[in-house]
Structure 1
Amino acid sequence: MTTNKVVTHWKGNLQFESDNPSGKMVLMDTSPENGGHNSGLGPKAMMLSSLAGCSGLDVVSILKKMKVPFSDFRIDTYGELTEEHPKYYNKVSVEYHIYGDNLDEVKIKKAVDLSIEKYCGVMEMFRQFSEVKTSIHYHNA
């Protein structure tokens, strides 16, 4: 079993700095209306970024192994927060946007499906507390 450790250190006001097992640092803060300075990423928004990043890494790795060419790849992730505290994402939408010439839609769909259904652990975590919808958008040049 793998255990990851992250150390998060208060930097003053509502700002925190958190490390990563790779040694990289991320700054977190909140908006001025919540008492922060918008000097870092919001923790809940980072969750959406983690979801997109996890799945994106899978999709790109699979497409490279399948030798599927593409020129650009973007993931738009939307999270709907509950009204009551503690507020959490109860609905999430993940939109995969793939760009290129003569895109192989069958292989791209397979790569995305493998990430969604098998490989992306963050996607599986989100499914524990949220309704997750996904879509693929092909942008042929």
Structure 2
Amino acid sequence: MKTTKSHTKWLGNLAFESSNPGGNLIIDAAIEQGGSGEGLRPKALMLNSLAGCSAMDIANLVTKMRAEIDTFTIDVEGDLTDEEVQTYHTFRINYTFFGNNLDREKLKKIVNLSTQKYCGVMIMYRQFAKIEIEINYVAS
């Protein structure tokens, strides 16, 4: 069993410095929630985790499968419940591939491998939320 650790220190008000093996970041609440708006939001970081996990899979698979792309982007939106304690119920993930010789079938396979097999964050999130996937292709 592998264990991952993080460390979070209170900086005052609703601001915190948080670290993990890859670096540090500041977490803070929005001004309207009593924070100073100077850091990243905890729930929004969940969207970054989802995109980052899948992005690493795709970068590896693009190389292994020799897919020709210039670059790609991932945009994630999350819908929150209306309850007092809001939780995500739906995530929409939009993958956009840029390049002149895009093999749509190969790129679709790459996205499917990430979203269905390799991305542990996506697999965890599917236990509590619906995930919708969209793939776009843009000639550079």
Q: Deviations over 1:58-90 (max 9, x none)?
A: 011100111112112111100000000321110
2:78 — aligned with what? 79
Query: Structure 2 length normalisation: TM-score?
Result: 0.97
Determine the structure 2 residue equivalent to 1:93.
92
Partners of 1:54 and 1:3 lie apart in 2 by 17
Structure 1 stretch displaced more, 60-69 or 44-53: 60-69
Q: Is the partner of 2:66 in helix, strand or coil?
A: coil
Offset, 1:36: 0.7
Would you identify which runs of 4 or more consecutive aligned residues in structure 1 move more than 4 Å? none
The aligned residue for residue 120 of structure 2 is 121
Q: Which runs of 5 or more residues in structure 1 are unaligned?
A: none
- Count of aligned pairs: 140
Return the letter of the residue paired with 2:28. Answer: D
Taking only aligned residues, the RMSD between alpha carbons, in angstroms, comes to 0.9
Gaps of 5+ in 2: none
TM-score normalized by the length of structure 1: 0.96
- Partners in 1 of 2:108 and 2:19 — Cα distance? 34
- Structure 1: which amino acid aligns with 2:103? D
- Which residue number corresponds to residue 15 of structure 1? 15
Alignment match, 1:5: 5
